[in-house]
Amino acid sequence: MKEMIPKKGRVILHVDMNSFYASVEMSYDPSLKGKPLAIAGDAEERRGIIVTCSYEARKFGVKTTMPLWEAKKLCPQLIIRKPNFERYRAVSIKIFEILRQYSDLVEPVSIDEGYMDITDSDKLGTPVEIARTIQKRLLEQLDLPCSIGIAPNKFLAKMASDMKKPLGITILRKRDVPNILWPLDVGQMHGVGKKTAEKLAKIGIRTIGDLAKANEIQLKNLLGINGARLKERANGNDWRPVDPDSVSDFKSVGNSTTLPKDITNQQVLFQVLDGLAEKVAARLKRKKVLAANIAITIRYKDRKTITRSKKLSNPVSQKDEISQAAKTLFLKHWNGEPVRLLGITGTDLQERGRAVKQLDLFSYEQEAKKEPLIHALEKLREKYGEHIIKNADAKADIDIKSKIGTDTSFNKDFLQTFAIGGKNKKE
């Protein structure tokens, strides 16, 4: 494996599930295999759009984002299934549990694809052997096909995974870029959409090779800072690391830690969870949100990783509440084996001012006692302004910012919050 790693270089995999939603439906209902299948909106509505479809359907010209009526015209025997997003999320969790057994550096980018840095996984085999093992396990254990790109950076790995579908494994080295990538139409390049391709065509850039050799100043004038970035990509350069905690738009807040040694002592593990809960609580307060769902991640000595979550009756932001929920989950799902990594994530975030407590018989009396004070505060704010009185959390926000800065990153946890409606991408 070390032979194909340049000095100070990396080995990156891009794992992309093939026709994910359709493949999941086929795994649940084997009678659908080999048939033209589409996942789409209401079959009775002409406005329904194809979310994804099987490769059998694609042979008839059916495509993602195509109107349902048009797809049926091309393929009258097309089978339609409504999306089952809870099912897809559950399967996605299992996929990433498998991937994390081969590297600690796994970066999900959507519900059905992610990057892996396997540079330090050489004891598990060569890059191709690792890719084949992952592909085989996903197919045998989950009945799901995937394509995998192997490259020295994320951009080339993504381009490589698109080259052979379904069930492809493709190696793309930087020295291969001129012969393999440059002849391709610029619209086939990851990061170049239809509108960008049209803009580039107006200045004579029609292939990836044209983009690689283009004038950088001209590109900046046309596309801004993205122009220079795309030129770098076209030349095979991409310095982005595989970051499990990368900034994303998915609304979750979490922290994890790899333990200095594998631990089985429950008291010590609880202390680790307390520390993680404190960090999550600080970030929730800084963002002025509460979490209605708490998830924990447990990675064992053998790299097996599980993620389990619990919907809470009331949204939380306090350390003790988060810690208690995490410990309850941990005790329920820990198998007693040595633990390598622990993580806590708060999801289903709600703005602090809009969060509504669901009062039960035990909390009603306590909450009712606060009502006179709440009404008094509301009257003061109405008369003198919103900021005349602030609660302790607001004070905590100021203290936290002064100590740890204004970091606003959300840890990625699309598995809980992936936007309904899927993604429009080539699968």
Domain ranges of the chain: 1-173, 182-234, 252-411
Q: pLDDT tens digit string along 232-242?
A: 999 999 999 99
**Kind plus residue range of the DSSP H or E element containing 306:** strand 305-316
CB of 243 within 8 A of CB of 409?
no
Which residue would you say has higher pLDDT here, 407 or 203?
203
Percentage above 90 pLDDT, the chain:
61
16 is in an annotated binding site: yes
Q: In the predicted model, is pLDDT for residue 360 greater than 90?
A: no
Looking at residue 369, what is its pLDDT? 47
Q: Which CATH class is domain 182-234?
A: mainly alpha
- Distance, in Å, from the CA atom of 331 to the CA atom of 346, rounded to the nearest integer, reads 18
90 to each of 29, 148, 292, 307, how far by Cα in Å? Answer: 16, 21, 19, 10
281 to each of 79, 254, 284, how far by Cα in Å? Answer: 47, 9, 5
- Distance, in Å, from the CA atom of 270 to the CA atom of 397, rounded to the nearest integer, reads 26
Q: Quote helix, strand, coil % in the chain, to nearest 5.
A: 45, 20, 35
For 262, other C-beta atoms within 10 Å of its C-beta total: 14
Query: Which residues in 184-196 are b (16+ Cβ under 10 Å) and which e?
Result: eebbebbebeeeb
- Distance, in Å, from the CA atom of 381 to the CA atom of 220, rounded to the nearest integer, reads 49
pTM over 0.75: no
288 — pLDDT class (breaks 50, 70, 90): confident
Give first-to-last CA distance, the chain, whole Å. Answer: 29
- Distance, in Å, from the CA atom of 306 to the CA atom of 304, rounded to the nearest integer, reads 7
Which residue would you say has higher pLDDT here, 415 or 290?
290
Long-range CB contacts (within 8 A, 24+) of 132-137 = 132/169, 133/102, 134/13, 134/15, 134/98, 134/99, 134/102, 135/167, 135/169, 137/98
CB of 234 within 8 A of CB of 156?
no
259 to each of 256, 341, 345, how far by Cα in Å? Answer: 10, 6, 17
381 — pLDDT class (breaks 50, 70, 90): low
125 — pLDDT class (breaks 50, 70, 90): very high
Span 1-173 CATH architecture: 2-Layer Sandwich (3.30)
Alpha-carbon dihedral of residues 195, 171, 165, 12, nearest 10 degrees? -70
Which residue would you say has higher pLDDT here, 72 or 377?
72
Q: Count Cβ atoms within 10 A of the Cβ of residue 6 and give its class: 0-12 exposed, 13-18 middle, 19 or more buried.
A: exposed
389 — pLDDT class (breaks 50, 70, 90): low
**Strands of 252-263's sheet in order across:** 252-263, 339-351, 289-300, 305-316
CB of 97 within 8 A of CB of 307?
yes
- Distance, in Å, from the CA atom of 154 to the CA atom of 381, rounded to the nearest integer, reads 51
Residues tagged active-site: 113
CB of 16 within 8 A of CB of 147?
yes
DSSP code of residue 244: T
CB of 30 within 8 A of CB of 2?
no
Looking at residue 382, what is its pLDDT? 53
Percentage above 70 pLDDT, the chain:
77
Residue from 44, 65, 70 nearest 53 by CA: 65
368 — pLDDT class (breaks 50, 70, 90): very low
- Cβ neighbours of residue 165 under 8 Å, at least 6 residues apart? 16, 18, 147, 427
Using the structure block, give the residue that is written with the tokens 């490259």: 151
- The SS3 call for residue 40 is strand
- Cβ neighbours of residue 414 under 8 Å, at least 6 residues apart? 92, 108, 110, 111, 248, 250
CB of 63 within 8 A of CB of 50?
yes
94-108, 332-346, 362-376, 395-409: range with lowest mean pLDDT: 395-409
112 is in an annotated binding site: yes
- Distance, in Å, from the CA atom of 41 to the CA atom of 50, rounded to the nearest integer, reads 7
| CATH code of domain 252-411 | 3.30.1490.100
